[in-house]
């Protein structure tokens, strides 16, 4: 296992590891984990709330010169697959990925992912993968769609055991990228897509609601939605959100 830095409280593990990387040459799979985050962040600036010591919050550092910039979304795919594989090993049921990278069990959000890449001369250089997994928290105020491993499985889980398994599975799926197995990764991810091929409601960036069916994703991570007029349209991350 690579170096694991454990902190009691920190504003953001992603920010901490980014700062460390500026000051020293970090090894791949260096991990910073914390019992409490004061400024945990999710996708597109959302805030991540967590009770102290109840959940698994960590960031992983990885050099990625072998990932072409047009395949940046595969970092989300690899991370989602690693988490799902881990949770399956702990008998967590009905796992899905809500595009782009929330992990659900029984239609409830149990995990969020925030990936921040470092580019140099337009080439992918490094990535910081931030993961927040609801483990032993049982109350989620004003978050009706949130749940935890304890609420779903009925048993308390060891956060470090989960961490070691996620890192092991990250290494497993990163080897797919190194071998150029993009199609395999994409199909595994698409098979896990929440509400795939089911009539769903979406909200566009301007607040308009529309219905459609998720068909899959593109190589760059855009969502392919079949609209009512039988036209398949691609939506980028900031253009659309899937409502529960």
Could you give all domains of the chain from N- to C-terminal order, each with its CATH number? 4-191 (3.30.930.10), 199-242 (2.30.30.100)
SS3 89: helix
Q: Quick one: CA torsion of 17, 10, 174, 196, rounded to 10 degrees?
A: -140
Q: Is 30 helix (H, G, I), strand (E, B) or coil?
A: strand
Instruction: Specify the 3-state DSSP secondary structure of 194.
Output: coil
Q: What CA–CA distance (Å, rounded) separates 193 from 158?
A: 27
User: Is-cis flag, bond preceding 40, omega within 30?
Assistant: no
In angstroms, the Cα distances linking 227 to 98, 222, 235, 238 are 19, 15, 12, 18
Structural element, H or E, at residue 173: helix 159-178
Cα torsion 169, 240, 93, 140 to 10°: value is 100
Q: Give the CA radius of gyration of the chain.
A: 18
Q: Give the global pTM.
A: 0.92
Question: How is residue 7 annotated by DSSP?
Answer: E
Q: What is the rounded CA–CA span in Å between residue 137 and residue 144?
A: 14
- Buried/exposed code over 55-81 (b: 16+ C-beta within 10 A; e: otherwise): bbbbbbbbbbeebeeebbbbbbbbbbb
Q: How far apart are CA 241 and CA 97, in angstroms?
A: 14
How would you write the pLDDT of the chain (244 residues) with one tens digit per residue? 579 999 988 888 999 999 999 999 999 999 999 987 665 545 444 454 566 678 999 999 999 999 999 999 999 999 999 999 999 999 999 999 999 989 999 999 999 999 999 999 889 999 999 999 999 999 888 788 999 999 999 999 999 999 999 999 999 999 999 999 999 999 999 999 999 999 999 999 999 999 999 999 999 999 999 999 999 999 998 899 998 6
Give the other-Cβ count within 10 Å of 116's Cβ.
16
Alpha carbon distance 8, 20 (integer Å): 17
């Amino acid at each position: 296992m690579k170096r694991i830095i454990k902190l009691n409280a920190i504003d953001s593990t992603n920010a901490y590891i980014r700062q460390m990387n500026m000051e020293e040459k970090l090894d791949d799979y260096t991990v910073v984990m914390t019992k409490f985050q004061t400024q945990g962040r999710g996708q597109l600036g959302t805030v991540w709330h967590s009770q102290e010591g109840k959940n698994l919050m960590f960031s992983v550092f990885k050099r990625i010169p072998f990932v072409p910039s047009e395949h940046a979304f595969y970092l989300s795919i690899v991370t989602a697959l690693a988490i799902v594989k881990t949770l399956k090993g702990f008998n967590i049921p009905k796992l899905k990925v809500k595009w782009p990278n929330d992990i659900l069990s029984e239609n409830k959000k149990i995990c969020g992912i925030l990936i921040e890449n470092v580019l140099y001369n337009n080439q992918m250089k490094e990535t910081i993968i931030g993961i927040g997994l609801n483990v032993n928290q049982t109350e989620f105020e004003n978050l009706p769609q949130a749940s935890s491993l304890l609420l779903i499985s009925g048993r308390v889980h060891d956060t470090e055991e989960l961490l070691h398994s996620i890192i092991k599975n990250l290494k497993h799926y990163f080897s797919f990228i190194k071998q150029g197995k993009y199609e395999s990764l994409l199909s595994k991810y698409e098979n896990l897509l929440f509400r795939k091929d089911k009539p769903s409601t979406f909200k566009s960036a301007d607040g308009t609601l529309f219905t459609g069916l998720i068909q899959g994703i593109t190589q760059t991570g855009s969502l392919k939605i079949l609209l009512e007029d039988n036209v398949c349209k691609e939506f980028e991350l900031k253009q659309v959100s899937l409502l529960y």
